[in-house]
């Protein structure tokens, strides 16, 4: 039976001629990544701010070498006064600095600051690190002068290996981009889905369509496929535009690299296919119940909150349970995350969630078909 193909073809053609539907699908795919890129631009310029840490230094005349060392580490003496609401970071160098250095006795240098102040934490840390580095440097000289290998006082050497690869750092930022891609299938087909269900009813063409010698299942399948095509068109546009737009964002400045390979984009697109079917069948399910376009729009806006809350929730709550790999929406999300982090993809999870998504979509489609056989839904009785 090829009736569903006839309906699919007609609905798709009809939707393509609807400027509102096309605009809705395309603007999300286009302006979304643009907005995100602009946001990253600002974020990066903030993160890579090379400004000096300005502190108060008391008694700097006693230890010009130390001050010089601090300056090399971008820690300089403050020329302006501290603002009232900020606790000053003060370093005092004692008078006996030179004498103590010469006699190789410990010197008490005082660093006064508020360690609990969130905003100053990095500044204080930088000062501490610079002081410790200077201290270690002098210790090494002293040992060498006395003919001792400096390594004897470092029995245990901690080698810090930051497991955060460039990719996984990027994943934190890219998380929101991924959520955006996932949601594109919900956004892009939305207008078409409303138009071919509630819109069809509003235009009074639903009754005639349902009186044709075509099963209601075929009608629904055709409509789901048409709206899904639009959803996927939007998703494809996002997937093409995001790598292009992000190649202009200087992610490398914050030590990140995001590499959108063609394979990766292709896998993402394939993972979005069942999700698009689910999204549109869900939207059709809701908007076939609405009496007109406006009512359907209201319902669907509420419906959009579900995938948004789910994916942003998982993203920001850093939720970690293996179940996420197997569910619709979160499964695709996890696959995307693994892909962008350069980790091994949990293919079993990806497959199971794809099938799960597909099953729900088919079930919803079947339910809509049954709904259209009921006179209650058709005539809004």
Which residue is it, tokens 């709206």? Answer: 227
Assigned token pair, 204: 């009074």
CA 183/CA 51 separation, integer angstroms:
38
Instruction: Write the interaction track for another protein spanning residues 318-357; mark x where CB under 8 A is met and - where it is not.
Output: ----------------------------------------
> What minimum distance in Å lies between the beta carbon of 10 and another protein?
5
> What minimum distance in Å lies between the beta carbon of 299 and another protein?
22
Give the total of residues touching another protein (CB under 8 A).
Answer: 25
- 3-state DSSP call for residue 56? strand
Rounded to a whole number, what is the largest CA-CA distance in the chain? Answer: 104
Residue 4 vs 326, nearer CB to another protein: 4
Instruction: Write the interaction track for another protein spanning residues 168-207; mark x where CB under 8 A is met and - where it is not.
Output: --------------------------------x--xxxxx
For another protein, the binding residue among 83, 155, 213, 322 (CB under 8 A) is 213
Contacts of 119 (CB under 8 A, 6+ apart): 86
- Dihedral through CA 229, CA 230, CA 235, CA 237, nearest 10? 110
Residue 7 vs 286, nearer CB to another protein: 7
User: Any idea how long the chain is?
Assistant: 381
* Residue 291 is a binding residue for another protein (CB under 8 A): no
Q: Of 181, 179, 196, give the one whose Cα is nearest residue 20.
A: 196
> What minimum distance in Å lies between the beta carbon of 35 and another protein?
31
> What minimum distance in Å lies between the beta carbon of 1 and another protein?
9
> What minimum distance in Å lies between the beta carbon of 33 and another protein?
29
> What minimum distance in Å lies between the beta carbon of 197 and another protein?
13
Q: What are phi and psi of 108, to 5 degrees?
A: -90, 110
* Residue 49 is a binding residue for another protein (CB under 8 A): no
* Residue 166 is a binding residue for another protein (CB under 8 A): no
* Residue 128 is a binding residue for another protein (CB under 8 A): no
Number of helices (H), then strands (E), belonging to the chain: the values are: 15, 4
Q: How far is CA 54 from CA 71, 124, 196, in A?
A: 10, 10, 63
């Amino acid at each position: 039976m090829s009736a569903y193909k006839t309906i699919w073809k007609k609905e798709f053609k009809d939707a393509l001629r609807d400027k509102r539907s096309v605009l809705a699908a395309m603007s999300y795919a286009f302006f979304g990544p643009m907005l995100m890129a602009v946001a990253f631009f600002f974020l990066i310029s903030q993160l890579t701010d090379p400004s000096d840490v300005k502190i108060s230094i008391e008694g700097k005349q006693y230890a010009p070498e130390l001050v010089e060392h601090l300056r090399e580490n971008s820690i300089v003496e403050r020329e302006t006064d501290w603002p009232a609401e900020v606790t000053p970071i003060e370093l005092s160098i004692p008078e006996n600095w030179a004498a103590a250095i010469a006699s190789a006795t410990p010197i008490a240098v005082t660093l006064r600051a508020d360690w609990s102040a969130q905003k100053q934490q990095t500044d204080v840390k930088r000062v501490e690190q610079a002081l410790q580095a200077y201290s270690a440097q002098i210790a090494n000289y002293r040992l060498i002068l006395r003919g001792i290998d400096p390594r004897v006082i470092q029995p245990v050497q901690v080698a810090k290996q930051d497991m955060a690869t460039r990719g996984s750092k990027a994943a934190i930022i890219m998380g929101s981009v991924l959520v955006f891609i996932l949601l594109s299938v919900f956004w892009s087909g939305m207008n078409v889905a409303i138009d071919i269900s509630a819109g069809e009813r509003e235009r009074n063409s639903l009754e005639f369509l349902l009186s044709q010698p075509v099963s209601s299942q075929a009608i629904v399948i055709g409509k789901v496929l048409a709206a899904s095509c639009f959803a996927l068109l939007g998703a494809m546009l996002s997937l093409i535009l995001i790598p292009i737009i992000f190649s202009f964002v200087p992610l490398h400045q914050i030590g990140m690299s995001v590499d959108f390979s063609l394979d990766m984009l292709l896998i993402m697109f394939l993972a979005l296919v069942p999700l698009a079917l689910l999204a549109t069948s869900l939207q059709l399910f809701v908007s076939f119940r609405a009496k007109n376009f406006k009512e359907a729009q209201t319902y669907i806006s509420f419906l959009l909150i579900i995938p948004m809350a789910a994916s942003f929730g998982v993203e920001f709550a850093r939720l970690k349970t293996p179940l996420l790999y197997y569910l619709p929406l979160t499964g695709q999300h996890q696959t995307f995350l693994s892909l962008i982090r350069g980790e091994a993809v949990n293919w079993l999870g990806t497959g199971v969630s794809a099938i799960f998504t597909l099953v729900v979509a088919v079930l919803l489609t079947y339910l809509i078909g049954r709904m259209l056989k009921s006179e209650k839904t058709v005539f809004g009785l």
